Amino acid sequence: MSIDANTASIDQCRDWIAENVLGWERNGRSESYEWTRDTPDGPYEYDGKFIEDHPAGPASTDAAIAAMPKEWEWVKGHDALYGYKRGVHVPVHVKPTGDFKLDIWRLCLAMHIAERGGK
């Protein structure tokens, strides 16, 4: 799924991370859907009836920071939020919207996209 970190909604960020980073697959198209993924012991089902039960965590600022890739840091600049991997000069940034929670989820998504080589 192609996604733009500067235009994605919080739910789109969380869904992309759940699917592409955490290995979950969404089954269903309503607010009441299930997430599944394969494990060494076979398929594992996760009931995602409540937004707090999303595999990528709740739609909170703290959850976005916790979902950032390991070894990545973030900083709030005067014109954007920036993320960078420790020891590597490959910064990413997202344009501020005035909604910090949205911006931090978008930055988290941008970091994961960069971590995967832009994919």
Q: What is the pLDDT of residue 36?
A: 76
Top pLDDT among 106 and 24 is at: 106
In a domain, 31, yes or no: no
Q: Which domain holds residue 84?
A: 10-22+57-115
pTM passes above 0.75: yes
In a domain, 96, yes or no: yes
Top pLDDT among 47 and 88 is at: 88
pLDDT grade for 112, boundaries at 50, 70 and 90: very high
pLDDT at residue 46 is higher than 70: no
In a domain, 74, yes or no: yes
Total domain count, the chain: 1
Q: Rounded to 5, what percent of the chain is helix, strand, coil? A: 30, 25, 45
pLDDT at residue 74 is higher than 60: yes
Name residues whose C-beta falls within 8 Å of residue 16's C-beta, 6 or more positions apart in sequence.
1, 3, 8, 109, 112
